Chains A and B, each alone.
Chain A
């Protein structure tokens, strides 16, 4: 094998930085929404456990949020840095949603989150709460704009080709692209699933610790008897409520969001069969036309040849249902799609210097099938697993606490990872499945079907493989280190419990740092209290 060339390095870099960035983003969106709801309940009811939940989950939210911010700048810059030909080609239509994301979403998110973090005392409670909601709405807007941009790559609309470049002619079509309208709720439900699993796993851990430490006990009827541990700050009866409520909210959110992802995913699948039939055929490893959904197919890994693939278990009719909503319509497989793609989009890359060494090469229209096939199944599998776990968790905790089993606790904590895996697998599937295109052709025959771009043409021609390798290695190394730091901090604050986010719960005020007692009733004695409600 030759050394990686610029294109392959740039693709690895985009993949690594995007998947990484998208570990932080869904937690930010999902947890932000959950914290906003919890703070709203506190605002309405004044119950202390909801304030504690706001503070604790808010603290974890912020530790994670900053990583999303830090890694997000890379995303915007690398289009121009590593993919200058792509940027030149799509700029007229793709740049607008990115600029609007910054102008209408990032500003809102960052400014109002700053107000929320630091404004516990400076702002009236209702305005303080409103700031969080505004920030959360900002994050939802940012999801919308970036998915509009991405959806245009999956399904170009609203443009005409002028001088070899797509020029926007219909902004409404771009911003209401049907691909985006189903991908946005799908992504938001995916983000909520992450938050649900996060609450569930961590709350389970604390309930388990309370039992293990003998703080909570179980009566003869199996119901919990919540207790207090005087020697541990914050381990009182309200603490039990904090974790039980968190667990139940998490479980319910996890189940609702799985239902949401399934419904929106079904709509997405049906669109994808129309818009990118090869992607869905590759997701199914469906070589021949048919109606059956493959539960398990095997083949020679890496052979990329349909002749080697054998469907071991197949459920007839289901594929047709996924594609068309009935059980009988034949769905096209790879073998009948390939000639159509070749006829429409060519058999060889053009002899244009833009393709570098790849100019004139034969085009492989089949995405890497192991990735699409397993990516699709991992997405659904991890998502379903998390929802099932949430259902079981609700049942097991119906009497007010978790079982004593250490293994169950470990499963609940490890289960936090499942929705992250589902999100990553889904994005890897949909982006890898779009190959060899960076802008996939819209098969609509109204003239837009010639708006497409091969990934091979998208990379920056002036940037050397050495430069790309430098940034790939640098960013990957930094991201790895920062992931360790983030997880360590999260673990520290999680183990600390509510008190880690609310030092005022510690009776001896010696260790007090973040004097963040909200509201007028707080015991704040220092004259400077309203200058710094929170201090870095």
Chain B
């Protein structure tokens, strides 16, 4: 097989896995704003666990998208145009979510906060669901013609795989966020998160496991089946670690579950990056969808130095903000007098 396109297939798998690992928990935390947090203080505890890092996490998505454009332009063009409306939903979700994080605390009224809480929760849900649907469809295929364009109208992409992939990422994000909260908070939130994690993990990981198995049934190889088994073992480890109260180990084991599961899916799909459900001859593969070796070589050189650097300074960020957050740390809500208001009414004219 061609070396450079294979490397870039792996690189993009790594970028998506990094995205799901990192933004996975902040998408989950976003959804838990409505599902888990019981009052405004708890919601602010949740927000502040991801406050300094969510934006950096989201760049993994941009990098995965940009790397796909650069390394496999035909994959990028076909996938993104075929999934026009679902990706529009993802964009809208991400816009509202990002703005909500920053603006939620800027006006001190219940109504203002409630609106942005919904924006965070729904934005997180639709972003997770849409990304999951898109990733599922790139392994199971879309109705693409010879030029790589979608046939059959705006909703031709919709099928059970899309729903399964969407639920898979939503479920994983929720579990991952519970593990993250157990690790990053203290007090009531920490204990409840751990209890929820133990109780809900088997249910919430079901869709992602079903997706991994589905992909194996469709196009699996012995070694990718083995990865699925290892992933299940990792999930079981995460569950038992959480029961023992080893929150850090539970979080890492869940991360291993994601990495193994993701590797099993990308590995099974390889070397096809986007199958056509109309005709196998129209499948996009690492050979016919990739950029030139020159471009891939250039990108490899930059990524070989850039990606470890990114991982290093993002890891440092998590180290800087390693302390647990609890309700006691949350300051009072903010309101201030405009510096000009005191005289604004008295000196009119």
A interface residues with partner B (beta carbon < 8 Å): 62-63, 66-67, 69-74, 76-77, 79-82, 84-85, 87-88, 90-96, 98-104, 106-108, 110-115, 117-119, 122-123, 162, 167-169, 171, 206, 209, 212-214, 229, 231-235, 239, 460-464, 466-468, 470-471, 474-475, 478, 482, 485, 489, 492-493, 495-500, 503, 506, 510-515, 528, 530-532, 534-536
Taking a contact as CB atoms under 8 Å apart, the answer to whether A499 and B91 are in contact is no
Taking a contact as CB atoms under 8 Å apart, the answer to whether A62 and B59 are in contact is no
Taking a contact as CB atoms under 8 Å apart, the answer to whether A70 and B148 are in contact is no
Taking a contact as CB atoms under 8 Å apart, the answer to whether A113 and B55 are in contact is yes
Taking a contact as CB atoms under 8 Å apart, the answer to whether B336 and A500 are in contact is yes
Add 13 more A-B contacts to A96-B295, A106-B63 (CB < 8 A).
A66-B102, A80-B65, A91-B76, A100-B302, A232-B342, A232-B343, A233-B339, A474-B92, A499-B336, A499-B339, A500-B339, A506-B337, A536-B101
Taking a contact as CB atoms under 8 Å apart, the answer to whether A111 and B313 are in contact is yes
Encode B90-116 as 1/0 by CB contact (under 8 A) with A: 011011101101111111000000000
Contacts A66-B98, A87-B77 given; does A513 touch B332 at CB 8 Å: yes
What A residues does B58 contact at CB under 8 A? 69, 73, 110
Within 8 A of A (CB), among B43-63: 44, 47-48, 51-53, 55-56, 58-59, 61-63
Contacts A482-B95, A532-B48 given; does A231 touch B342 at CB 8 Å: yes
What A residues does B48 contact at CB under 8 A? 532, 535-536
Taking a contact as CB atoms under 8 Å apart, the answer to whether A107 and B310 are in contact is yes
Q: Does B330 contact A (CB under 8 A)?
A: yes
What A residues does B61 contact at CB under 8 A? 73
Taking a contact as CB atoms under 8 Å apart, the answer to whether B334 and A503 are in contact is yes
Q: Does B203 contact A (CB under 8 A)?
A: no
What is the bound-complex CA distance between A350 and B52, given in angstroms? 52
Contacts A111-B314, A497-B339, A528-B328 given; does A536 touch B105 at CB 8 Å: yes
Taking a contact as CB atoms under 8 Å apart, the answer to whether B77 and A84 are in contact is yes
Q: Does B135 contact A (CB under 8 A)?
A: no
What A residues does B63 contact at CB under 8 A? 99, 102-103, 106-107
Cβ distance A10 to chain B, nearest Cβ, rounded Å = 11
Cβ distance A7 to chain B, nearest Cβ, rounded Å = 14
Q: Does B158 contact A (CB under 8 A)?
A: no
Q: How many residues of B contact A (CB 8 A)?
A: 92
What is the bound-complex CA distance between A157 and B255, given in angstroms? 44
Q: Does B298 contact A (CB under 8 A)?
A: yes
What is the bound-complex CA distance between A113 and B341, given in angstroms? 32
Give 8 closest A-B pairs by Cβ, nearest first: A91-B73, A80-B80, A513-B334, A497-B339, A462-B149, A95-B70, A99-B66, A84-B77
Q: Does B79 contact A (CB under 8 A)?
A: yes
Taking a contact as CB atoms under 8 Å apart, the answer to whether A532 and B338 are in contact is no
What B residues does A536 contact at CB under 8 A? 44, 47-48, 51, 101-102, 104-105
What is the bound-complex CA distance between A229 and B80, given in angstroms? 58
B231-239, B246-254, B275-283, B318-326: which lies at the A interface? B318-326
**SS class of chain A's interface: helix, strand, loop or mixed?**
helix
B interface residues with partner A (beta carbon < 8 Å): 44, 47-48, 51-53, 55-56, 58-59, 61-63, 65-67, 69-71, 73-74, 76-85, 87-88, 91-92, 94-96, 98-99, 101-107, 145, 147-151, 153-154, 291-292, 294-295, 298-299, 302-303, 306-307, 310, 313-314, 317, 320-321, 323-326, 328-343, 347
What B residues does A66 contact at CB under 8 A? 98-99, 101-103
Taking a contact as CB atoms under 8 Å apart, the answer to whether A532 and B330 are in contact is yes
Taking a contact as CB atoms under 8 Å apart, the answer to whether B88 and A470 are in contact is yes
What B residues does A87 contact at CB under 8 A? 69, 73, 76-77, 80
What is the bound-complex CA distance between A474 and B69, given in angstroms? 25
Taking a contact as CB atoms under 8 Å apart, the answer to whether A168 and B81 are in contact is no
Write the chain A residue with the least CB distance to B338: A495
Sample 22 A-B pairs with CB under 8 A, ordered by A number.
A63-B103, A73-B58, A73-B91, A81-B88, A87-B77, A87-B80, A95-B66, A100-B302, A111-B55, A168-B298, A169-B294, A232-B340, A461-B147, A462-B81, A464-B153, A464-B154, A492-B106, A497-B340, A513-B105, A514-B331, A532-B331, A535-B330
Cβ distance B127 to chain A, nearest Cβ, rounded Å = 10
What is the bound-complex CA distance between A500 and B108, given in angstroms? 13
What is the bound-complex CA distance between A468 and B334, given in angstroms? 41
Taking a contact as CB atoms under 8 Å apart, the answer to whether B347 and A103 are in contact is no
Taking a contact as CB atoms under 8 Å apart, the answer to whether B343 and A103 are in contact is no
Taking a contact as CB atoms under 8 Å apart, the answer to whether B339 and A234 are in contact is yes
Taking a contact as CB atoms under 8 Å apart, the answer to whether A91 and B74 are in contact is yes
What A residues does B103 contact at CB under 8 A? 63, 66, 485, 489
Taking a contact as CB atoms under 8 Å apart, the answer to whether B98 and A496 are in contact is no
Taking a contact as CB atoms under 8 Å apart, the answer to whether B149 and A461 are in contact is yes
Write the chain B residue with the least CB distance to A95: B70
Taking a contact as CB atoms under 8 Å apart, the answer to whether A511 and B332 are in contact is yes
Taking a contact as CB atoms under 8 Å apart, the answer to whether B95 and A478 are in contact is yes
Taking a contact as CB atoms under 8 Å apart, the answer to whether B55 and A114 are in contact is yes
Taking a contact as CB atoms under 8 Å apart, the answer to whether B325 and A88 are in contact is no
What is the bound-complex CA distance between A431 and B96, given in angstroms? 29
Taking a contact as CB atoms under 8 Å apart, the answer to whether B81 and A229 are in contact is no
Contacts A485-B99, A496-B338 given; does A79 touch B310 at CB 8 Å: no
What A residues does B338 contact at CB under 8 A? 492, 495-497, 500
Write the chain B residue with the least CB distance to A509: B332
Cβ distance B270 to chain A, nearest Cβ, rounded Å = 21
Taking a contact as CB atoms under 8 Å apart, the answer to whether A171 and B329 are in contact is no
Taking a contact as CB atoms under 8 Å apart, the answer to whether B69 and A531 are in contact is no
What B residues does A171 contact at CB under 8 A? 294, 298
Write the chain B residue with the least CB distance to A502: B336
Cβ distance A523 to chain B, nearest Cβ, rounded Å = 14
Taking a contact as CB atoms under 8 Å apart, the answer to whether A492 and B107 are in contact is yes
Among A81, A92, A497, A498: residue with most chain B CB under 10 A: A81
What is the bound-complex CA distance between A249 and B78, given in angstroms? 49
What is the bound-complex CA distance between A77 and B90, given in angstroms? 10
Taking a contact as CB atoms under 8 Å apart, the answer to whether B73 and A460 are in contact is no
Contacts A79-B69, A84-B149, A495-B339 given; does A103 touch B52 at CB 8 Å: no
Contacts A82-B81, A84-B80, A234-B339 given; does A73 touch B320 at CB 8 Å: no
Cβ distance A511 to chain B, nearest Cβ, rounded Å = 5
What is the bound-complex CA distance between A108 and B58, given in angstroms? 12
Taking a contact as CB atoms under 8 Å apart, the answer to whether B320 and A119 are in contact is yes
Taking a contact as CB atoms under 8 Å apart, the answer to whether B329 and A532 are in contact is yes
What A residues does B324 contact at CB under 8 A? 531
Taking a contact as CB atoms under 8 Å apart, the answer to whether A167 and B335 are in contact is no
Cβ distance A504 to chain B, nearest Cβ, rounded Å = 11
What is the bound-complex CA distance between A119 and B317, given in angstroms? 10
What B residues does A111 contact at CB under 8 A? 53, 55-56, 59, 310, 313-314, 317
What is the bound-complex CA distance between A345 and B86, given in angstroms? 38
Write the chain A residue with the least CB distance to B322: A122
